[in-house]
Structure 1
Amino acid sequence: MYAFLLTLHSLLRWLVVLSLSYAVFIGFRGWYTGRVFARRDNFIRHTTATLAHTQLTVGYLLYFNSPVVTYFRSQFSEARKQPDLLFFGLIHIALMTLAVVLITIGSSAAKRQVTDTARFRTLAIWMGIGFLILFAAIPWPFSPLAQRPLLRSF
């Protein structure tokens, strides 16, 4: 079960990164060009937030079943001195939760805006900040905090 969740989490990462990148792009494009907030834009807003929530749920399942996190919690004073354990035991989960909260706020606030420009601006700003935090908290192969492959498999 753990291996399946890890693979699913790795695959969903790409869907979240791609959909969030596109949502931020359409937000800025619509904001600066004065476009109409169409059904397609609303679909992208909603789909991006849903994918982020799904990824966070899978991430929580992994977090509470991970041997790395279990060791981190049981041996906190020693584990916090190791960057890899500190990243997965504390930093990753906190920043990802914050990123999804910001994405959710942005999605909800954009839906409630009166003008199309305000919808796009809200989408661009909130999801853009969420994207920056999310991108920083992903364990990329080039990350100084913790490295993982670009795609994990069973």
Structure 2
Amino acid sequence: MYQSLIILHSLVRWFVLISLLVAIIRAYSGWLGNKRFLKTDNTARMAAVTIAHVQLVIGISLYIISPAVRYFMNNFKEAVHQREFRFFGMEHITMMVVAITLLTIGSAKSKRKTTDLQKFKTMAIWFTIALLVIFFSIPWHFSPFTSRPYFRWY
């Protein structure tokens, strides 16, 4: 179960990033191009947030059963000084929850705006900030915090 969730989490990360990039590109294009907020823009907004929430559920499930997190919790005084255990036990989950919160707030605020320009601008700003938090919290192969492969397989 754990290995399957790791692989799924690794795969869904790409869907999160792609859907978020599409939503951000549409938001900046609409904002800077003074375009109408179309059903397609709303779908991009909702898809990015929905996929991110699915990823969060997978991530929380992983957090609950992870041997690394279990070690971190059971040996906190020592583990907090070990980069990889601290990253997965504390930093990764905290920053990802913050990012999903930013996405959710940005989506809700954008939805409630009355003009198309305000919708695009709100979505662009909040989603960009969330993307930056996500990008710096992913254990990329080149990350200084801890690294994981771009794709996980069995």
TM-score normalized by the length of structure 1 = 0.99
Q: CA deviation at 1:129?
A: 0.4
1:16 is aligned to 2:4: no
Pairwise CA distance, 1:21: 1.1
Q: Which residue of 1 aligns with 2:149?
A: 149
Deviations 1:33-84 (A, max 9, x none): 1010000000000010000000000000000100000000000000011111
Which string of whole-angstrom CA distances, capped at 9 and with x for unpartnered residues, describes residues 76-96 of structure 1? 000011111110000000000
Instruction: Name the aligned partner's letter for residue 89 of structure 1.
Output: G
- State the partner residue of 2:118: 118
Deviation at 1:116, TM superposition (A): 0.2
| CA deviation profile, 1:7-37 (whole Å, cap 9, x unmatched) | 1100000000111111111111111110100
What is the count of residue pairs matched by the alignment?
154
CA distance in 1, matches of 2:21, 2:97: 18
**Matched residues in 1 for 2:24 and 2:138: separation?**
18
Tell me the C-alpha RMSD between the 2 structures: 0.5
Structure 1: gaps of 5 or more residues: none
Listed as ranges, the matches of 1:1-154 within 5 Å are: 1-154=1-154
* Residues 96-135 of structure 1 deviation map (CA, whole Å, 9 limit, x = unaligned): 0000000011111111110000000000000000000000
Code of the residue aligned with 1:46 in structure 2: it is: M
SS at match of 2:65: coil
SS at match of 1:35: coil
CA distance in 1, matches of 2:15, 2:27: 18
- Alignment partners' CA distance in 1, 2:13 and 2:102: 17
Percent sequence identity over matched residues? 45
Tell me which stretches of 4 or more aligned residues in structure 1 moved more than 2 Å: none
